Structure 1
Amino acid sequence: MPHTRGRQKIPMKLIPKQDDLYACFSKRRFGLFKKASELSTLCGADVGVLVFSPTDNPFSFFSPSMDAVLDRFHSPALSHSAFAIDAHARACIRVLNKRLDSLKVELQEYQRRVEEADRAREKAWWEETGVEGLDKERVREWMAWFGDFKARVEGKVEEMSSNSAYGGAAQLMDPFYTTSNFSAADHSGGGDE
């Protein structure tokens, strides 16, 4: 087990080494922005954080928006229209956060169902046999079987591409190739003219 320093209390003074200083800034900046986001979400507070890195690069976080936070800073008594815009932005953030939470729950449920289905399904012969336990003869059998399977798939692709109005095995194998890539002339059904 590697011996690390783990979590330690760091004295509050300037870090002397430049590389350590930059690394610490990046980690602390991320943590600071995360806490600002949590404060805004949990308490409904307007939050604005602006920090400059040791190399004088600016980084900022504003919630619900930079304009809303700066308007509140310059004039604490918001005008009616600015208050309405601010309220709308907050309502949109709440709706999006609720949708995000429901999507997380749906994703967890989907992952649970996939894992359950995977445990319940009957395993194929190549899944049940550990590769480590194969002897040379069994490896040759598997190579022959997979080679035959590959040849049959390639034959089917060639057959489909020759019967396809769009032609080309490469298009059938390309997951990003869609029929929208064709021009109107390709859909005419006629041959070469």
Structure 2
Amino acid sequence: MAVYIVSPKEGRVVGSIDVPDIATMNGMAALPRHPHILLSADSIAGRILSIDTRTIPPIGINGLRTREDYIYFMISSQGTFVRVRIDEHGNRIGDFEVLARSPDASQIYDDFTFDEDGNAYVAVHSSSIVKITPDGVQTTLVGGTSDLILQEPTSVALAKDGKSIYVSTGGNVRTTARQGGQTTEIRLDW
């Protein structure tokens, strides 16, 4: 695995950082006080990696974000949304807290984003976006088990103005009429 450095101005890859002995890197978040340290999830091995982009040693989940003094992440295989307090260097200094659980084993949490109020918007396989409030209350924002509007949502990003989220999908893989992935805007202020 590797972290690729892309220059938006040049529109190309300008470098890479090798991350050895990793099965997969799923999601990435920079530490707020040390943005040169990236945290990423090895979903297959079930561990969170710390990658120092200055010295590049990997230290050792699906979707992760830092917010204030916590790292938040999904454990898809357990259907849980978890957080743990960390210090400024990304070291765990608290107990793991389960904030929410998937109501159904067939609804698999994937990547997510936060709004300014601390609500999480979660891509849920195979066809929905769930909002989880800071106190763990879950509501389906878009989609559902028989809804095909979103086809395998995988990631969510908050718009800069905070009024929309953008959802990327893996495409329809449940039928023989396969369709490619999507990027969909969902307004939050309606």
TM range (shorter): under 0.3
TM-score under structure 1 normalisation? Answer: 0.21
Which of the two has greater strand per residue? 2
Which of the two has greater helix per residue? 1
